[in-house]
A = this chain, B = another copy of it.
Amino acid sequence: MSNIRHALTVKREDDFAKWYQEVISAADLAEESGVRGCMVIKPWGYGIWERVQRLMDDRIKQAGVQNTYFPIFIPLANFEREAAHVEGFAKEMAVVTHHRLIADGKGGLIPDPEAKLEEPLVVRPTSETIIGDAMSRWVQSWRDLPLLLNQWGNVVRWEMRTRMFLRTSEFLWQEGHTAHATREDALEETHRALEMYRACVEEDLALPVIAGEKPENERFPGADETWSIEAMMQDGKALQAGTSHYLGTNFAKAASIQYQDREGTQQYCHTTSWGTSTRLVGGLVMTHGDDDGLRVPPRVAPHQVIILPILRDKPEDEALLAYCEELRAGLVAHSALGEPVRVLLDKTPGKASAKRWDWVRRGAPVILEVGPRDMENGKVAAIRRDTLWNAETGKLATEFVLRDEFVSGIGALLEDIQGSLFSEASERRDANITRGVTEWDEVVQFYKSNGKYPGWVEVQWSKPTSEALEKVVERLKAEKLTIRNVPRGSDAADGACIFTGEPAVERILVARAY
């Protein structure tokens, strides 16, 4: 077997941003579409997203939340109703103004001036306002509560600087929207969704996250509380991987979502919303990718095992393909991580060694190469993507295993890979959170002197609000820093606020972020 090291031209340590772009392309995840700010998600990238969707959707349904579908177009009036929301959202959005095209007389097309909409429509950036309209119709009495809805779909937020999966004008996501009788119920739902996200992202995508509350300045427009899960990328930056908002009665008042309580009194509902998006695929790349491409955790891998027969365009190929087909059938009859094993027998034309590297770059968890000699010996040559290289020899850590042993061990193998990727990421994350910093200058110094990928710093603060908070945000911004969240369950504060010197009330994570 050939041992060409580094399937990519850029290493993470040299240029993380460039490396990211190269993995997106080399792993066949996505590409630029030619339409401003929009990407094309290719089959392997979309396959990963479909797996995330399926696993998240199972969790959503498990919680009794029902899927629905609301219009992609939102009338301007909906945005005008909720003041904070309009401030935060009614800016960079795609606006539909015409409903017909006509020939321009020069061989081209233009919007028909005769077909101008009376009221322009906005392509949804998020659906609180339009779902709020429906909630106001659907909720009448306490018996209708809680109302637990979710939607899978596309949204558009016009972005000036885009980066594939992380920030695109159009992206795919799910948005949960729920209405409750009381503040307590709504907060419980906010936390249930947050915990669901933590579990899915950690258990399925193998991305360790820290769940916590966002500071006031990072709240969703119109929310009373915003909670997030934050993941650390290999360059030490934070990626917000999911958010869950307690909206108080703000949207309920704007859309008139009211119910009659058991005593017959009209009350406003307390609502929540929560979302995760295709951004998670970007997080997957920046957490599990290495200098040979992507490594996909088995739970979200469209194919977990790739079988590559070494074909020679000779009559013997037939027997080899039969051997591989038997291998495939044996594997799919097994379960791993609670589901039947997903196997691809890749019979596409091309050299097995070239195809091996295609699958290394794409990050299939296990790649099997099977040649005539392996068949004779009843063996397979197995490559485990997460531990690709033998550190001692510097060669590919290929293992020649008896076919039957490989088949019966597939469940344990995939579980081990899933666990290893999570452990590796968790250890790196934990090693890169610095605690005990008590002076602002120390923080500034830390980010100046700690190399390219400095990680996160935990500090204590007095939770300033309004103008005082603005000043803090400015100081952070000058260092390109942000507050990620107040970790759930973190130790009580016991020192002084790093910004104001006042007694601290909580601990916050400070980091550079995507």
Question: B-contacting residues of A (Cβ < 8 Å)?
Answer: 31, 33-36, 38-43, 46-47, 49-50, 66-76, 79-80, 86, 90-101, 107-111, 120-123, 130, 133-134, 137, 143, 149, 153-154, 156, 158, 170, 172, 348-350
Instruction: Assess whether A35 is in contact with B74, with CB atoms less than 8 Å apart.
Output: yes
**Known A33-B71, A34-B75; further 11 A-B contacts with Cβ < 8 A:** A35-B71, A38-B71, A42-B68, A43-B67, A46-B66, A50-B67, A73-B170, A76-B108, A92-B99, A94-B99, A95-B100
| Bound-state Cα–Cα, A95 to B120, Å | 10
Instruction: Assess whether A149 is in contact with B43, with CB atoms less than 8 Å apart.
Output: yes
| Bound-state Cα–Cα, A153 to B101, Å | 23
Instruction: Assess whether B122 is in contact with A170, with CB atoms less than 8 Å apart.
Output: no
Instruction: Assess whether B35 is in contact with A73, with CB atoms less than 8 Å apart.
Output: yes
Q: Which residues of B contact A134 (CB under 8 A)?
A: 31, 33, 40
Instruction: Assess whether B97 is in contact with A109, with CB atoms less than 8 Å apart.
Output: no
**What distance in Å separates the Cβ of A272 from its nearest Cβ neighbour in chain B?**
17
Q: Which residues of B contact A97 (CB under 8 A)?
A: 95-98, 111
A101: contacting residue among B38, B79, B149, CB under 8 A: B79
**What distance in Å separates the Cβ of A113 from its nearest Cβ neighbour in chain B?**
11
A168 and chain B: residue at smallest CB distance: B71
Chief secondary structure at chain A's binding surface: mixed
Closest 7 CB pairs of A and B: A38-B71, A43-B66, A41-B69, A95-B98, A99-B158, A35-B71, A95-B111
Instruction: Assess whether B94 is in contact with A73, with CB atoms less than 8 Å apart.
Output: yes
Q: Which residues of B contact A42 (CB under 8 A)?
A: 68
Instruction: Assess whether B40 is in contact with A75, with CB atoms less than 8 Å apart.
Output: no
Instruction: Assess whether A46 is in contact with B69, with CB atoms less than 8 Å apart.
Output: yes
| Bound-state Cα–Cα, A108 to B172, Å | 29
**What distance in Å separates the Cβ of A21 from its nearest Cβ neighbour in chain B?**
17
**What distance in Å separates the Cβ of A221 from its nearest Cβ neighbour in chain B?**
14
Instruction: Assess whether A100 is in contact with B96, with CB atoms less than 8 Å apart.
Output: no
Instruction: Assess whether B349 is in contact with A72, with CB atoms less than 8 Å apart.
Output: no
A154 and chain B: residue at smallest CB distance: B72
A76: contacting residue among B43, B96, B109, B170, CB under 8 A: B109
Given contacts A43-B68, A73-B35, A156-B72, contact A93 B86 (CB under 8 A): no
| Bound-state Cα–Cα, A98 to B98, Å | 11
**What distance in Å separates the Cβ of A388 from its nearest Cβ neighbour in chain B?**
25
Instruction: Assess whether B156 is in contact with A154, with CB atoms less than 8 Å apart.
Output: no
Instruction: Assess whether B43 is in contact with A121, with CB atoms less than 8 Å apart.
Output: no
Instruction: Assess whether A86 is in contact with B72, with CB atoms less than 8 Å apart.
Output: no
Q: Which residues of B contact A72 (CB under 8 A)?
A: 38, 72, 123, 154, 156, 170
Instruction: Assess whether A67 is in contact with B46, with CB atoms less than 8 Å apart.
Output: yes
Instruction: Assess whether B90 is in contact with A68, with CB atoms less than 8 Å apart.
Output: no
A77 and chain B: residue at smallest CB distance: B108
Q: Which residues of B contact A66 (CB under 8 A)?
A: 43, 46-47
Given contacts A35-B74, A154-B72, contact A80 B94 (CB under 8 A): no
| Bound-state Cα–Cα, A66 to B48, Å | 12
Given contacts A71-B38, A71-B170, contact A91 B96 (CB under 8 A): no
Q: Which residues of B contact A99 (CB under 8 A)?
A: 92-95, 158
**What distance in Å separates the Cβ of A86 from its nearest Cβ neighbour in chain B?**
7
Instruction: Assess whether B41 is in contact with A348, with CB atoms less than 8 Å apart.
Output: no
Instruction: Assess whether A121 is in contact with B75, with CB atoms less than 8 Å apart.
Output: no
Instruction: Assess whether B96 is in contact with A95, with CB atoms less than 8 Å apart.
Output: yes
**What distance in Å separates the Cβ of A300 from its nearest Cβ neighbour in chain B?**
15
| Bound-state Cα–Cα, A134 to B42, Å | 10
Q: Which residues of B contact A69 (CB under 8 A)?
A: 40-41, 46, 49, 172
